[in-house]
Amino acid sequence: MAKAFSEFQPLDETSLIDYIKSVPSLCSKLHNNLNGLEIKEVGDGNLNFVFIVVGSSGSFVIKQALTYVRSIGEAWPMSKDRAYFEAAALKKHGHLCPGHVPEVYHFDHTMSLIAMRYLKPPHIILRKGLVAGIEYPLLADDMSDYMSKTLFYTSLIYNSTTEHKQGVAEFCGNVEMCRLTEQVIFSDPYKVSEYNRWTSPYLDSDAAALREDEALKIEVAELKSLFCERAQALIHGDLHTSSVMVTQESTQVIDSEFSFYGPMGFDVGAFLGNLILAFFAQDGHADEENDREAYKAWILRTIENTWNLFQNKFIALWDQHKDGSGEAYLPAIYNSSEIQQLVQKKFMQDLFHDTLGFGAAKMIRRIVGVAHVEDFEAISDASKRAGCERRALQLAKLLLKERRKFQNIAQVVSAIKQGK
Ligand code: ADP
Ligand code: SR1
Ligand code: MG
């Protein structure tokens, strides 16, 4: 008889077989053929355990949240309810943008466990592709598609205030994940924290300078307030380049456990900020065979195209639904194409500046905070790595403090080029 899983228990490669046997929908994904099942734990993220399950007639991924942060250990407790919010956001975002989100097959609240589509090889984590210098021709188009649809359709521009507040209320429960972000992005990098680290001794004075930079602290406070107080849309909440899996033909967004109703710029900024980090890391990956200059130019084109396509698609959705039930801009008030264009321009300009601010804050945390990125970590020569990190840090400080002076993404790309 199949074992019952009526209480939470962390799974391993052996107990997962019993678990699968106890869930008919998972058995049927494998066409009830569990012979020779291959199960491998592959979690390389910071928080959870991820098992790839491959049978002769089917496959899926099982992701389980435990009661702590995996990369730190039991010393950093964390609610396993994050699995509920990840599953809920995957379903919502998957409904809005099915081409770029893996399908959820099964969710078990008691076990804090999600079963979803296995993104088979050649899918790899985008960040790894960026370190390897691989171009992805569809990336800007696909990510602008994902961001415009998920953000527009969960905002008040499309929804009534009643619908919007229902969503906000549900995702308010993801408070522990928000608190983690508040700490590691908006607080720790600007104070002494046991978790902070950087490429020492090279960046010692750069890290200290962050703690003394009053202008920067004022701007970070404004961004933190936006993050905590602005329930603008159901955001992914952790949209960096390790939350995207890619092939030449496919772009899939995973890992939405930080999702909540927050500022749209936090998602767009996460993606663009991480592409900027990838850009600054390239000099550390250059060798005699490949100076990475052509690849750097591709990253810059991708940054520019992503923003411009996102902006165009978001506005197109807005135009398409301007007479719908969204309550942010009532058609009776915004009743001419002139006023419509004016409010759209103002909205996109504010979103652009939020994007730059959040993107910059996310760059800074990856250089002096708790969780670093492979883009830089893969550069084994510490002094070379520190040089790349310092140039990224300088650009991030400029973007964060001066973001309102940038009128368009081309100006940002020019600033990145000057900072190299
Ligand atoms: P964490 O929440 O711990 O950051 P992730 O969701 O980022 O975990 O997953 C960790 C790793 O597991 C990813 O880097 C990826 O290699 C693998 N993975 C996660 N989801 C899938 C999937 N649906 N298909 C294939 N691999 C996946
Ligand atoms: C302890 S901080 C871990 C980080 O990993 C996740 O991907 C989030 O970015 C989080 O901030
Ligand atoms: Mg992750």
Residue to substitute in 63, 176, 180 for testing ligand 2 pocket (most ligand atoms within 8 angstroms of CB): 180
The 10s digit of each residue's pLDDT in 198-232 is 999 999 999 999 999 999 999 999 999 999 999 99
Residue with tokens 């008040």: 156
> Residue 202's pLDDT is what?
98
User: At a CB cut-off of 8 Å and minimum separation 6, what does 189 contact?
Assistant: 196, 210, 364, 365, 368, 369
Ligand 2 atom, smallest distance to 69 CA: 1
pLDDT in tens, 138-147: 999 999 999 9
Residue 27, both tokens: 């058995």
**How does residue 2 score in pLDDT terms, banded at 50, 70 and 90?**
low
pLDDT of 43 over the 90 cut = no
* Mean pLDDT over the full length of the chain: 97
Distance CA 133, CA 113 (A): 34
What domains can you pick out in the chain, each with its CATH number? Answer: 3-116 (3.30.200.20), 124-419 (3.90.1200.10)
What confidence category does residue 1 fall into, taking pLDDT thresholds of 50, 70 and 90?
A: low
Residues having CB within 6 Å of any atom of ligand 2: 46, 69, 72, 180-181, 184, 238, 370-371
Determine if ligand 1 sits within 6 Å of the CB of residue 155: no
Model confidence over 60-91: pLDDT tens digits? 999 999 999 998 888 999 999 999 999 999 99
Tens of pLDDT, residues 230-254:
999 999 999 999 999 999 999 999 9
Query: In angstroms, rounded to a whole number, what is the distance separating the alpha carbons of residues 141 and 285?
Result: 26
Out of 2-16, 306-320, 391-405, least confident range? 2-16
Give every CB contact of residue 152 below 8 A, 6+ residues apart in sequence: 158, 233, 314, 317, 318
260 forms bridges with which residues in the sheet? 235
Residue 372: exposure state from Cβ atoms within 10 A (0-12, 13-18, ≥19): middle
Residue whose CA lies nearest to ligand 2 atom number 5: 46
